[in-house]
Amino acid sequence: MNNKVFAVVALTVAIALAAVTQLIPNEYFFSAAYTVLLFVILATAWNILGGYTGYVNFGSAAFFAIGAYTTVFFYNAFKAPLAVGIVAGTLVAGLAGLGLGYLTLRLRGVFFAIASLALSVVLYIFIVNWDYVGGARGAYVLQPKDIPFGLPRYIHLIYAVQLVMAAFALVVARAIEKSTLGRGLAAIRDDELAAECSGVPTLRLKIFSTMVSCALMGMAGTTFPYYLSYIEPSSAFSLSYAVNSIAMPLIGGMMSWMGPLIGAILLGTVQQLVQVTVSSAWNLLIVGVLLVLFVTLAPNGIMGWVDAWRRRKGR
């Protein structure tokens, strides 16, 4: 399937799903599904750098929060509509990723990982001290009264938008994976020195994939202030975003665009169930334990099992 066909199919499926699920009467479905879709985008975005290129980004929460707080900023400054927030948040997060990548990707991969962790703490403190976007108190973002497409509540719209953005993220990830760019990234992941010697412009490719990955993470955050109409730094910078966006691709499988999707849907749904039935602390513990178990015992994740099964069948 070529990229254009896949894009058309993915977007059609997303819009059709968004339309059909509007019939579901349970309001909780929309907020739960919104959260799962948020993780689909984050996991897919993380995998562009982590899975395809082999560089660990611990700063998912930072880029997510950049997206969210860009929306807040434009809302406070111009009462800008959601669409402006989405575009601006994606761009700002992409630029932040570009900056971080430019500064640290020339060094060993581990420095990038540590710097990304550092970035999320610096940004957190910056936001806590920046009163214009609410500071430590948090900020209110009012959901608009008139909702397009005749939807009953704003969460329905946010959910539909998130669904379309998730499809977009998957299209981007798949396009990168199947292109020569993706092969270059895979070469970097497998042996960076050999890739460099074979003429792969490693630094440029790494910076590019960091930028795309971070921009998509920012995109995931842009709708977040509207989700509860309220945002505060510790929820926007929650460590659970960083852990989940690493755990989901690892559990699903990092080699293809399908892995993060499967991981995010599985783990996201389990977490929603545990959060409702047990408690949110236990649900974080489950994510952490699953992450450690999968990374030590099943390094290629669920898609790795599928591939092994296919190979056995083909023989």
Of the ranges 9-17, 35-43, 264-272, 286-294, which one interacts with other proteins (CB under 8 A)? 286-294
Terminal C-alpha separation, the chain: 25
For the chain, helix, strand, coil in percent to 5 are 80, 0, 20
**Rounded Cα gap, residues 171 and 101, in angstroms:** 23
Contact flag: residue 113 with other proteins (CB under 8 A): yes
Q: What is the DSSP string of 243-298?
A: HHHHHHHHHH-SSSTHHHHHHHHHHHHHHHHHHHHS-HHHHHHHHHHHHHHHHHH-
Contact flag: residue 299 with other proteins (CB under 8 A): yes
Q: Where are the beta strands (DSSP E) in the chain?
A: 139-140, 230-231
Of the ranges 144-152, 164-172, 237-245, 259-267, which one interacts with other proteins (CB under 8 A)? 237-245
Contact flag: residue 304 with other proteins (CB under 8 A): no
Contact flag: residue 111 with other proteins (CB under 8 A): yes
Nearer to other proteins, 57 or 90 (CB): 57
Residue 299 CB, nearest distance to other proteins (Å)? 6
At 209, is the secondary structure helix, strand, or coil? helix
Contact flag: residue 125 with other proteins (CB under 8 A): yes
Contact flag: residue 295 with other proteins (CB under 8 A): yes
The region, left, alpha or beta by phi > 0 then psi within -120 to 50, assigned to residue 291 is alpha
Contact flag: residue 52 with other proteins (CB under 8 A): no
Residue with tokens 């379309």: 164
Residue 219 CB, nearest distance to other proteins (Å)? 23
Contact flag: residue 292 with other proteins (CB under 8 A): yes
Across the strands, what pairs with 139? Answer: 231
Contact flag: residue 284 with other proteins (CB under 8 A): yes
Residues making up the chain, counted from first to last: 315
Contact flag: residue 50 with other proteins (CB under 8 A): yes
Contact flag: residue 276 with other proteins (CB under 8 A): no
Given the rule CB under 8 A, which residues bind other proteins? 50, 54-56, 58, 103-104, 107, 109-111, 113-115, 117-119, 121-122, 125-126, 128-129, 239, 242-243, 246-247, 250, 281-282, 284-285, 287-289, 291-292, 295-296, 299
